[in-house]
Chains A and B, each alone.
Chain A
């Protein structure tokens, strides 16, 4: 069988027509066949790709991912719940009147939770929660806990205990046991803890005796409990949140409280390079950047920062690549109120996402055509922000 070759113009016309139909078909099918995204997959006011992880009324905070990254827990109005990352089936872990402040560790099967102390003050009690179908009972692990930080991947934490007047002790807690106490008591009140990359030392922010706010950063040797001063801030300045010990040095946020209630615009991000005792402005973020909450990624390569590029720009989540000293915005909010407490920010175990807490700002009553339980931005809710490459 023989076929005659088509002439070049005929071939070109056919090809052009075919491509036109193909491209037209793609465009048209994109417009007619895309159904509305289910709730949870729409972009939010925080930017494209940001997924809500909770909904409805209630003040949510302290997100904590399970070790496998499949579930996320959080506090809501003083109690603790968790839910599957992609589902809405919420499970309550404590009584509603529990008074939870923060979730310190979440293995997926148990949690360490800092709750209210009967004796009011800066400290709380550390509890372990092991929920069953019909019980939300918790067991007290240690009272008088000032702060804690998860260390390693097994759900263990290092906690600071208020061991006396203006004294703190550092403890390793695993499961429902205080496994060991490190060295002697530290003078002052420990406000933040960060483990060194080699796991042998801690950077701790401390409120010196007689002071309420942390104004010193010290290095604490886990092997023998010795400590040395790294940074002592001038009077009126304080460390906000826990320092973050990275391969490139120790990062911390510091500033002064102004008379109008402590504008975060006055807070700046600093770094103490390895081998130096001198804080410098953190490289890569710009001189006008106002930082508040910071949190190191699980692999130590990135720093999540809640902050503003300059005093008049909106608050957003930014990611600082510590190797390249480059900053990128992970959210693009114009007017969302993103919680800047470092406790309200949590990296996923794979380092691909950061959970944050935010709501929209409005001054006059807001009317919506949906039940409150289905609303998102009107209340503080959790959002998953993708930050992978």
Chain B
């Protein structure tokens, strides 16, 4: 029985070394795996190829008035061409009791990989008619929701919240 203890110690050490190796491998992959988890949960795979760009300086220059011309950059960041990219821009009030807002729609026929397009929309950012009766501490904010979708399921979204004028 004198030979049992060294064997036991050897087995435990072998187990520990193997465990440590597995943990090292797991640690090496920590950061990317966390990022991948987040992406899978918050954004479907189809979101990646379509990119929407807004000029924040231009947005900041807008007034609470009609006919604010917004430039929207659309880029195909994926490896495949995209066709029939539908762009929907909806302008509505933060006031959920107010009537529905305005909606505009435009289509980009085709976007090759890496290709960009610029599309313009006229936004009416006037205060709602009953803004003075709004129960909040200030007039309601205007919201502009921009969605880009393709028949293949690729999509992207941007939401802009404007301070009341």
Residues on A facing B (Cβ under 8 Å):
1-4, 6, 10, 14, 17-18, 20-21, 24-25, 28, 31-32, 34-36, 56-59, 61, 75-79, 96-97, 99, 101, 339, 362-372, 375, 378-380
Contact = CB atoms under 8 A, between A and B. Distances in A.
B1 A31 contact: no
Contact of B94 (A6, A21, A32, A57): A57
A74 to B, nearest CB: 12
B130 to A, nearest CB: 10
- The main secondary structure of chain A at its interface with chain B is loop
Given A6-B5, A77-B134, A367-B56, A28 B160 contact: no
A366 B12 contact: no
A18 B16 contact: yes
Nearest to A61: B135
Given A77-B136, A365-B56, 6 more contacts: A14-B13, A18-B12, A32-B33, A96-B97, A368-B160, A370-B157
Given A36-B41, A364-B60, A21 B96 contact: no
Contacts of A365: 56, 59-60, 62, 160-163
A56 to B, nearest CB: 8
Contacts of B41: 35-36
A59 B19 contact: no
Given A365-B60, A365-B163, A378-B161, A3 B26 contact: no
A374 B26 CA distance: 33
B161 A372 contact: yes
A363 B27 CA distance: 42
A371 B159 contact: yes
Interface in B1-43: 1-2, 4-5, 9, 12-13, 16, 19-20, 23, 26-27, 29-30, 33-34, 37-38, 41-42
Contact of A17 (B13, B29, B143): B13
A3 B30 contact: no
A36 B5 contact: no
Nearest to B146: A367
A379 B98 CA distance: 16
19 contacts: A3-B4, A10-B9, A14-B13, A18-B12, A25-B19, A36-B38, A58-B95, A58-B96, A59-B134, A76-B97, A78-B97, A365-B56, A366-B161, A367-B54, A369-B156, A370-B157, A371-B159, A372-B161, A379-B94
Contacts of A56: 96
Contact of A4 (B1, B59, B98, B140): B1
Contacts of A97: 97
Contacts of B16: 17-18, 21
Contacts of B95: 57-59, 77
B158 interface: yes
B124 interface: no
Closest 3 CB pairs of A and B: A59-B136, A58-B96, A77-B97
B145 interface: yes
Interface string B69-96: 0000000000000000000000000111
| Residue of A21, A28, A57, A76 most packed against chain B (CB within 10 A) | A57
A57 B143 contact: yes
Contacts of B1: 1-4
A380 B136 contact: yes
B56 A364 contact: yes
B23 A21 contact: yes
Contacts of A375: 159, 161
A372 B56 contact: no
B30 A31 contact: yes
Contacts of A367: 54, 56, 59, 158-160
A18 B41 CA distance: 36
A87 B28 CA distance: 37
Nearest to A11: B9
A5 to B, nearest CB: 8
